[in-house]
Chain A
Amino acid sequence: MNHLLELVTKPDNIPIVGLLLLVIFYSWLAWTKARKNDSQQLPDEARLDDKVQVWPYLVRVEFLAMLVVLLILVVWSVFINAPLEEPANPALTPNPSKAPWYFLGLQELLVYFDPWIAGVVLPSIIIVGLMIIPYVDINEKGNGYYTFKERKFSILTFCFGFLILWVSLIVLGTFMRGPGWNFFLPWQDWDTHKVVVLNNVDLSEYFGMPSHFPDNSLNIAASAFGFLVIAAFYLSLGGWHYMKYKNSDVVKKLGLGRYALVLGLFLTMMFVVLKILLRLAPPIFGGYPVKYIWVTPWFNV
């Protein structure tokens, strides 16, 4: 318990506690507003659409908000010092060693994916994926007011990405990753000597095909198998969805190109989850965690 207190009050962790509380509060706020709007004919925002003058009605709110923010910031800065640790020493890595908190979600993914995926490809997909949202979300409803009923899919998908894959992984990385990047529950002390066996195997090995022969040369069959697994994941789920919905209005209006883009991005998000599960689940059933699904001479997935 003391450990938890220590973690939560560590100067560098305070923003994450703040983030967590704010995200919970605002999710709740948005949810209440959406429920209310969904239950009535006109959303609240539409009832309040008469014009008011910016001076004073908006300016005074802004001024108050400014005072509150500055007050919080100054009090925070007066009482809590920004950390300054030992001088830089390239030979001694602190244990654990963490990225700035807002990248901890990505650092967590580094456990499951090679750096080129977790550090380069996935962030790029996130950025590009965010940018194209307005161009692939062709639902005209829900523009300018809180609602859930009218845009279930887009809200659920976004919240899954933001709340689960981004915010909770940040919280997990801050409070539950200790020395050796081992997993600790928030109230467990960080034992530097905790030994966790992380003997991973590649997925093909489950089917009797090691990815490498004893002389360390690549097993082509295992590599082909890995490729097929990934292709099957995308094609079967994607194909199933397409068959089921190809005549729906949404798919028709999106057109094949945009539809494929959305589907591909969505499945990639699911693939990330799948890979995490393949690593975490097997030990529960006494199996080996899966390291790679697909091994090639140039890269591994």
Chain B
Amino acid sequence: MISPMEKLRKTEVYKSIFRHKYEDTPRNRALQIVDNVFLHLHPVRVPRHATNIGYTWGMGGITFLLFLVLTLTGVILMFYYRPTAQYAYEDMKYLMHDVPFGPLIRNMHRWGAHAMVITVMLHMFRVFLTGSYKPPRQFNWVVGVVLLLLTFLLSFSGYLLPWDQLSIWAVTVGTNMARATPLLGHEGPFGPQLGMRPDADVRFVLLGGTQVGPPTLLRFYVGHCIFLPLIATIFMVVHFWRIRKDGGISGPDTGKKNF
């Protein structure tokens, strides 16, 4: 008597999806990783200390998880949000009061963003403390710094979107600093001498106007939803690729090869 499960496993459809058996053998454990498009981000084997959460604190992975959560909740929010000064705030209210699960999605997006900034900072802290930026991982640290910056920019550009008092003043102060950029801002050292004007300097590129207004909202929206996530994704791809190419997770040099 063969069980229905056995029968199912013998069908062509099943075999076309699952490529190997699942008895717990070392070979199948390896196949789990290499045969899976997502898991094969990982090597098949790692040094034992890498599975110890006390070593990596898991912060890089958690940052990535939060990025995925933010992408998902962000896309859902886009179903209701219109990036114009007339509607943005109203849409926020609408989401918070009249859309089922609207508050949950918005809250997850907001708190997830805060959490991601925290975890990315802690990740950097850990990488520093274990000296993991030392050869051969120098360049991946540089990629990491870019990711840190992108995380800040993503969070900052999202801050404007609710179009409430908190948003516009935080962004007013933030972008007014650009006004004072040396050479490129109309109030920065040597800016005016180089012909910078309120309507022609770096700050204008950010704001799309001479003050925080409707064009700013649109620019920040496009940056927040398309441009910055795209760039961040590209850098993350490089970051993960480099982890593998630099010999997997760092560890003390014990003479053994890590890969």
Contacts and interface: CB of A to CB of B under 8 A. Distances in A.
Contact of B89 (A82, A87, A98, A299): A87
B2 interface: no
Interface string B165-190: 11111100110111111100101111
24 contacts: A15-B117, A29-B54, A44-B49, A45-B251, A52-B48, A52-B51, A53-B45, A54-B45, A56-B29, A59-B32, A62-B61, A65-B53, A73-B69, A77-B103, A92-B165, A99-B173, A115-B179, A127-B145, A133-B141, A143-B252, A144-B251, A145-B251, A147-B131, A162-B128
B209 to A, nearest CB: 12
A178 B251 CA distance: 46
Query: A-B pairs with the 5 shortest C-beta distances?
Result: A119-B177, A134-B138, A77-B107, A299-B189, A82-B110
Main secondary structure of the interface of B (DSSP, over half): helix
Nearest to A98: B170
A78 B12 CA distance: 45
Given A80-B111, A82-B111, A19 B118 contact: yes
Contact of A23 (B29, B104, B122, B179): B122
Interface stretch (A100-108, A191-199, A208-216, A218-226): A100-108
A183 to B, nearest CB: 19
Interface residues of B, number: 102
Interface of B: 26, 29-30, 32-33, 39, 42-55, 57-58, 61-62, 65-66, 69, 85, 89, 92-93, 96, 103-104, 106-112, 114-115, 117-118, 121-122, 124-126, 128-135, 137-139, 141-142, 145, 148-149, 152, 155-156, 159, 162-170, 173-174, 176-182, 185, 187-190, 193, 211-212, 250-254, 256
B92 A84 contact: yes
A89 interface: yes
Interface of A: 12, 15, 18-19, 22-23, 26, 29-30, 33-34, 42-46, 48-59, 61-62, 65-66, 69-70, 73-74, 76-78, 80-90, 92-94, 97-103, 107, 110, 114-116, 118-121, 127, 130-131, 133-135, 137, 139-147, 151, 155, 158, 162, 298-299
A270 to B, nearest CB: 20
B46 A58 contact: yes
A93 B134 contact: no
Contacts of A50: 47-48
A44 B173 CA distance: 47
Contacts of B148: 130
A94 B173 CA distance: 12
A18 B118 contact: yes
B126 A48 contact: no
B46 A69 contact: no
Contact of A120 (B141, B159, B178): B178
A142 B131 contact: yes
Contact of A52 (B46, B85, B190): B46
Nearest to A301: B189
B62 A65 contact: yes
A99 B188 CA distance: 21
A127 B124 CA distance: 13
A83 B93 CA distance: 11
B48 A15 contact: no
Contact of A85 (B111, B121, B164, B180): B164
B104 to A, nearest CB: 6
Given A53-B26, A62-B61, A99-B173, A76 B107 contact: yes
Contacts of B46: 51-52, 54, 57-58
A234 B114 CA distance: 38
Contact of A100 (B39, B170, B189, B193): B170
B96 A81 contact: yes
